[in-house]
A and B are shown apart, each in its own frame.
Chain A
Amino acid sequence: MIDSPAKLKSYTENLSKNSKPATTILVSLGTCGIAAGTRPINDLLKSEAASRKADIEIVEVGCMGLCHSEPSIEVVNNATGKSIIYGKVKVEQVPAIIETASKGIEAASCTVINRSWFYPEENETATSEKIQARIVLKNTGKINPEILDHYIANKGYQALSKVLFDMTPQQVLDTVIDSGLRGRGGGGFPTGKKWAFAAAQKADQKYVLCNADEGDPGAFMDRAVLEGDPHSVLEAMAITGYAIGSDTGVIYIRAEYPLAVKRLEIAIDQAKKQGLLGKNILGSKFSFDIMIKYGAGAFVCGEETALIHSVEGKRGEPTVKPPFPAIEGLWKKPTVVNNVETFANVCAIIRNGAAWFKKIGTAGSPGTKVFALAGKVKKVGLVEVPMGTTLRQIIFNVGGGIMNDRKFKAVQTGGPSGGCIKFDQLDTEIDYESLKRLGSMMGSGGMIVMDEDDCMVNVAKFFLEFTLDESCGKCTPCRIGNKRLYEMLHKICDGRGTRETIQNLKDLSNSIKDTALCGLGQTSPNPVLSTLAQFEHEYLAHIDEKRCEAGVCKKLLKYEINNSCVGCTLCARNCPANCIAGSVKQKHSIDQSRCIKCGVCMDVCKFHAVDRK
């Protein structure tokens, strides 16, 4: 039981005094690492290290953010502090890695990855190679999320101790307001202000609600934090509780994240046992308890009023604001709703002060932002950069450029509520305002890169299909308006669109924006409006020339066999519709009336004899 700040201090000091093994090997065991096959490597590392009686400790950590190179491991020499990161590790490479680990040299024939991030809290600064700054992801990939001591040894619970014994709730509020921290879930509302609203309310009960319902398809930042560093969120929630005068926290997490749920449960249990959560935290008068509530698959529950209804066990339908949740939220009590990444910033701000935080990022958007970089980019992964970094740096420096060296077409940020950004806007320094000016938004941090093979009309259609699926159906503009938008896009993709369709798309989109009830509805036409603004020529090509530049819209495609055909019969044998005719060594032909335009013939042909028109 750690029941005083002095005890926490001595406990932390003891942890640092404990003799460390010569070498620590960190094994990335997040969801993607496990899916890529890290478990057998982890097992072998352990058995190899044991059988050689090597002075090596194997630590299972969360996601390092190197999704493109999973399974990944990091070998840290504890004497020198130097580390080597290996990517795409194979089981047969394990003995060589163990062999070289204690010598501090790189194992032969393994893929070594250069660290592209720095730690502002360790007084590191940016270099041309290290443009990522890790505050939120400080511990993910470095500590075992299931061991509380690892967290405590890395400044864990010091921020909570500081606020409980050295700060008044008002000072905490002032620090967070002064830091300029803004909500990382999408809208970018100033976090401190939100807290202050709730703090000003007089009520017998207030709640701190953590939004871990990461619904944006293609975004996984919050999952990485919860899987890799759950205590940082718990600690921040307790700090919020102290600031606003609440003793109860609720984490609303999506059921699709079983590993994150498990690690959160473990973390809550550990913190309670050590007196870091629960009654009289660290021996103070402050008590704070946290419970977990599960989502059940509804994108709209990321909207705070909908989320509150879902926690109450109702259908996750949003209600009109005001009243804002900070005034009347969960069970009609004042409630602060913040998302995981926002909370994950709080402890660092308290530890280092508002001035430190403001030095990172831009004036209007201090701090960093975590992005889930995915799509047609070489290095898919989690990226945490200071606000103000350009999209070009993220995609081409950190992300390594476009896969298969295709041409970049657009990057989509903000998920289904965001928009697409073109090549000539890549030098924009990103923050909340600049993305909004480009017709997109920060959103929760999904960043999907698209190349010349992606049709922008089809992309807009994809997002509309998503919104249709996820619309709760409460308000008409969203329920019916989006359906009509979807139908119009469908028409254009099928080659049945006219110039009038484009005008109708614009008019209806603007009406939905103005009249929908909640954030989901108001932003749902963004993918349409932004692709129309940036890629109108693609829409027009579909309409005027009945042509899909990217070769995606099936109704507008035609496959034909050219004179390079040697009659190998491969296409005919692979055609699922059996519509390719021709005998051996004769030029084949496709029966257009039966062709389903799946493109298999083109994929299998070794002689480039199939044309797509």
Chain B
Amino acid sequence: MSCPIKSKAELAKLSPEKAEELDAYLTSLPLTEDRERNRGFLIQSLHKAQEIFTYLPSVVQIHVANRLGLHLAEVYGVISFYSYFTDKPVGRYKINICTGTACFVKGADKLVEEFQRYLGIKLGETGTDGKFSLTGLRCVGACSMAPVVMVNDRVYGNVTTKMVPEIISDCK
């Protein structure tokens, strides 16, 4: 399926508004016949798509590939390479534990264990109810408050294992 009209129709089944929003963004790019040049817009298109859909399911990948004139394999290759992109649904609350060096020396590994135990999911997983995902990230640059945990956009600093239930109960 390399026809952008068909792939957009497929995408609209997921959500017509979101499909429209992504398509409008792709239309706004100065795309040409030159595949190599179009490829330069791939990463930013995927950022936009993930912002809209929260993750990158295959219908989204196919549509981006079609609009940019790239192969699906090339698009998937990029998604799987960069840690920022995910093709699996994420929870409504993304719990990101910083595992950068400063947080590591201040005990981030203990936090990882405690969150895993408390939520019953492993690092990199999403709970079955779709509420929480647990991920590690490398340095948000708030090293003075290490160890740091980010829940969506909210930053918690100097986190101890005792604060875990409190942080979870903030997610309502």
Q: How far is the CA of A311 from the CA of B110 in the complex (A)?
A: 37
Closest to B79 in A: A296
Inter-subunit contact A316/B82 (CB<8 Å): yes
Contact residues in A for B41 (Cβ distance below 8 Å): 313
Contact residues in A for B37 (Cβ distance below 8 Å): 331
State whether the Cβ of B15 lies closer than 8 Å to any Cβ in chain A.
no
Q: How far is the CA of A295 from the CA of B42 in the complex (A)?
A: 11
State whether the Cβ of A581 lies closer than 8 Å to any Cβ in chain B.
no
Inter-subunit contact B43/A294 (CB<8 Å): yes
Inter-subunit contact B157/A35 (CB<8 Å): yes
Interface residue ranges of A15-73 to B (CB < 8 Å): 31-32, 35-36, 67-68, 70
Known: A223-B141, A316-B82. A450 touches B105 (CB 8 A): yes
Inter-subunit contact A297/B139 (CB<8 Å): no
Contact with A along B13-28 (1 / 0, CB 8 A): 0000000000000000
Inter-subunit contact B101/A375 (CB<8 Å): yes
Inter-subunit contact A372/B81 (CB<8 Å): no
Known: A217-B139, A312-B36. A68 touches B144 (CB 8 A): yes
At the interface, is chain B mostly helix, strand, loop or mixed?
Answer: helix
Task: Report the contact-size class of chain A (Cβ under 8 Å from the partner).
Answer: 35 or more
Closest to A63 in B: B141
Interface residue ranges of B119-133 to A (CB < 8 Å): none
State whether the Cβ of B137 lies closer than 8 Å to any Cβ in chain A.
yes
Contact residues in A for B148 (Cβ distance below 8 Å): 35
Q: Which of B113, B137, B157 lies in contact with A256, CB distance below 8 A? A: B137
Other contacts beyond A256-B140, A375-B105, A380-B144: 11, CB < 8 A: A67-B142, A217-B99, A217-B100, A257-B141, A295-B43, A296-B82, A297-B84, A374-B144, A375-B143, A462-B104, A463-B101
Q: How far is the CA of A450 from the CA of B47 in the complex (A)?
A: 37
Shortest distance between the CB of B33 and any CB in chain A (Å): 16
Shortest distance between the CB of A301 and any CB in chain B (Å): 9
Contact residues in A for B36 (Cβ distance below 8 Å): 312, 331
State whether the Cβ of A117 lies closer than 8 Å to any Cβ in chain B.
no
Q: How far is the CA of A256 from the CA of B99 in the complex (A)?
A: 14
Q: Identify 8 residue pairs between A and B in the complex whose beta-carbon atoms are under 8 Å apart, listed by A's number.
A: A31-B142, A32-B143, A35-B148, A67-B143, A293-B40, A313-B78, A380-B102, A381-B144
Q: How far is the CA of A207 from the CA of B117 in the complex (A)?
A: 50
State whether the Cβ of A271 lies closer than 8 Å to any Cβ in chain B.
no
Closest to B38 in A: A313
Closest to B74 in A: A314
Contact residues in A for B40 (Cβ distance below 8 Å): 293, 311-313
Shortest distance between the CB of A410 and any CB in chain B (Å): 10
Contact residues in B for A446 (Cβ distance below 8 Å): 101
Inter-subunit contact B83/A296 (CB<8 Å): yes
Find the residue from A293, A296, A450, A600 having the highest chain B CB count within 10 A. Answer: A296
Shortest distance between the CB of A152 and any CB in chain B (Å): 28
Q: Which of A220, A298, A375, A459 lies in contact with B82, CB distance below 8 A? A: A298
Q: How far is the CA of A294 from the CA of B109 in the complex (A)?
A: 29
Inter-subunit contact B78/A315 (CB<8 Å): yes
State whether the Cβ of B62 lies closer than 8 Å to any Cβ in chain A.
no
State whether the Cβ of B67 lies closer than 8 Å to any Cβ in chain A.
no
Find the residue from B78, B99, B143 having the highest chain A CB count within 10 A. Answer: B143
State whether the Cβ of A255 lies closer than 8 Å to any Cβ in chain B.
yes
Closest to A34 in B: B155
Q: Which of B44, B110, B138 lies in contact with A598, CB distance below 8 A? A: B110
Q: How far is the CA of A35 from the CA of B140 in the complex (A)?
A: 11
Q: Which of B46, B77, B161 lies in contact with A600, CB distance below 8 A? A: B161
State whether the Cβ of B112 lies closer than 8 Å to any Cβ in chain A.
no
Closest to A415 in B: B101
Known: A256-B140, A298-B83, A472-B81. A312 touches B39 (CB 8 A): yes
State whether the Cβ of A182 lies closer than 8 Å to any Cβ in chain B.
no
Q: How far is the CA of A466 from the CA of B102 in the complex (A)?
A: 13
Shortest distance between the CB of A598 and any CB in chain B (Å): 7
Contact residues in B for A295 (Cβ distance below 8 Å): 43, 82, 84
Q: Which of A310, A372, A376, A462 lies in contact with B43, CB distance below 8 A? A: A310
Q: How far is the CA of A31 from the CA of B117 in the complex (A)?
A: 30
Q: How far is the CA of A374 from the CA of B39 in the complex (A)?
A: 38
Q: Which of B42, B146, B157 lies in contact with A374, CB distance below 8 A? A: B146
Contact residues in B for A459 (Cβ distance below 8 Å): 105
Contact residues in B for A297 (Cβ distance below 8 Å): 82-85, 138
Inter-subunit contact A412/B46 (CB<8 Å): no
